[in-house]
Every structure is written in structure tokens, then in C-alpha cells.
Chains A and B, each alone.
Chain A
Amino acid sequence: NAGVMQNPRHLVRRRGQEARLRCSPMKGHSHVYWYRQLPEEGLKFMVYLQKENIIDESGMPKERFSAEFPKEGPSILRIQQVVRGDSAAYFCASSPGLAGYADTQYFGPGTRLTVL
């Protein structure tokens, strides 16, 4: 049973470009979470999605950031017009969603975004 998969593992973008980060949850998991880890800091919650629904996006910047989890395919975190401050590690986690929100979350390896 494969774990949470993220790609790419490393992504380099120039200021003003778009970054697309992908996350495939563990098999059988229907809940996806995105977190951001800035250098030398802990992880900060960004957004929580279920299939075709954004449940909680309170941690996501209002501008330039968006997320989706379509019926088919991976979850996508999209950052438009990237700036240097977006450089960070972005982690995706998934949970089965069997116990409401009190679920163990399993994390992917992360995507390290560098904005030049």
C-alpha cells in the first residue's frame, strides 16, 4: 500500500511564474490536507479538502493560492505569480476520514519550492 505521494519533490520557479504541486493520498483516503513549512519553522496548516470540496481554507493566503481535489486524480496546490517568500517545503497529508476530524494524518515527502 503506497503512502502519500507528492510530486515534484523539488520545484524551481522564477518570480512571477506559476507553481503546481500534486498530491496523491493513500489508497482509501478521502481527506487531504496541505501544510507549509518555512525554513527553520514548524508546519502551518493551509487547507483541508475532501473530494470535490474545500472544507477549510482558513490557513491559505487569500491571494495567489488555490487548491483543489477533483473527483479523479490528485489534489493540486496552485501558486500563481510566485514570490521569493513562497519558497518553502509544502507537505500534503491524507486521512481516511472514518472518525470525523480526529484522524491520524499521514504525510507525504513534501515538495521543496525554490523561487529565484
Chain B
Amino acid sequence: DGGITQSPKYLFRKEGQNVTLSCEQNLNHDAMYWYRQDPGQGLRLIYYSQIVNDFQKGDIAEGYSVSREKKESFPLTVTSAQKNPTAFYLCASSIPGRGHQPQHFGDGTRLSIL
């Protein structure tokens, strides 16, 4: 079955630690996205990538970094510079092209502070 796999489901971060969230898709989509979801808040865009080896900052990129070395993979690193990392992180993908294409989501990673 095609889909987006995020791992781990739950992650704990210690003070001063960087952690990496995994996102893999087998939908053959070119575009991938990372969102952050806080209670009572809408989804906020962290980073997105429309093609391999290229990515753009979203609305709340500070304290985060990404890479896009393969079409299928778009890992997100939450660095120690992100002072409030506790949130639900969602990865999405879509087919870029003429006209807008809807985004499809993985089941998220919940990050908490130890």
C-alpha cells in the first residue's frame, strides 16, 4: 500500500539535544512538507521541498533543519535552538505541477521534553 510513514510515533528530547524525525513516502510524490500542530492551533508549516536537493523555509523554520537527498525521504531535525519543541509533527507529500494538488499526511510523531 502506498503511503507516508513517520517514525518514531513518540520521541523524547533531553535539554540541549538534537533529535531527528523520519518521514518516508512511497507515493512517488515530488513535494514533501513538515508541519507542527499544537493543541488548539492550526497546522503551521516548518519546511517544504518541491524536488530533491532543494527545500524552502516555511512560517516557523527557526530551530529546525531538513535535508532532501532522496525523493522518498525528508527527515526533520529539531535542534537545541528550538526552545519549545513539544508538539505533534506531521509530514505530508503531494504532486507538484500545474494547478494545486492536495497534500496527504502521515500519522505524525509526538515529541516531548524530558
Partners in one complex: no
Which residues of A approach B to under 8 Å, CB–CB? none
